[in-house]
Amino acid sequence: MARKDKPADTIEEKKVLEAVNRIFLQALTCFSERDLALACLNEAEKLTASQFGFIGELNPMGRFDTMAMSNPGWDNCGLDHTLAVDLITDMEPTGIWGHVLRTGQTLLTNDPGSHPESSGLPKDHPPLRNYLGVPLKQNERVTGIISLGNKEGGYNEADMHAVETFAGAVVQALHSKRNELKLASQSREIMEISTPVIQIWKGIVVAPLIGTMDSERTRLFTERLLNTIVATNSDVALVDITAVPMIDTLTAQHIIESIVACRLLGAEVILTGVRPEIAQTLVHLGIDLTGVTTRSSLSAGFAVALERIGLTVAPKEKKA
């Protein structure tokens, strides 16, 4: 005979599942780990009807960094609670929440003051009537804690099991967000390396394009090019497409937009590295380069750029 869940169990499981789904949706839109941690804390507080709490992680030195916290008494202290997270970092794990981190075991007490490891409360903190602390773990290693307080009527085993289940999703969501942000940072670094803008002569900058251009790379390229033109007070910019493997309509349009933006700053753009196959593609795509000076090589474009600023390159006469 199939086992029938009790209605209360089913309701609790549904609440946990809904909370988990919400934080994974939040993970897609949050801009930082701290924003996501705050969303996780809000869900944990709603899940247990807690009045306040905090979430944090152990740093590489084994000390505690707060990631998110609700407002248990910062108004009384006259301190903006959004700044409190920055202040409560690199802490030695102490008290009952430190006990959770040290033992890796959930702690539920409806009389926290009598716990042997209770260390009191910060000044102006509301009284702690009951407490639930659940460790965050990754591969059985304790990485942090969900710490909750002051549920009306006290915590029970259902609260404990709900937060323990929820904690696994919190660890996964924070880990995924951290990897996402790390990859995004690495991508930005790669884009910056692959979109250099260099002043090669007074009044002349060169911007070699490398690889395929998408919207984000074009935005970064144009931003760096314009900033360098202004910073160096340059009159000519060489945009070199030698290392662009292929040109499609979108890439060509991005290049044209960058050229127009440079012109608005009063700088002339010389497009270099226009190989025969690239020229044929541009004609086939119907890209209008009227008014844009083009050259097949960077060196040929540089010679034109020197002329634009009133200089010429002449061979050195050999001594007899």
What are the structural domains, with CATH classification, of the chain?
A: 7-188 (3.30.450.40), 195-308 (3.30.750.24)
Section 138-163 average pLDDT: 95
CB 24 within 8 A of CB 170: no
Is residue 148's pLDDT more than 70?
A: yes
Whether 48 has a pLDDT exceeding 90, the answer reads: yes
Token pair, residue 128, equals 């702690």
Q: Write down the pLDDT at residue 311.
A: 87
Residue 204 CB neighbour total at 10 angstroms: 23
- 129 vs 151: CA distance, rounded Å: 8
d(CA 308, CA 205): 13
- Cα 61 to the center of its chain, rounded Å: 24
pLDDT tier at 201, thresholds 50, 70, 90: very high
Find the mean pLDDT for residues 115-124. Answer: 82
Beta strands at 268-272 and 236-243: parallel, antiparallel or unpaired: parallel
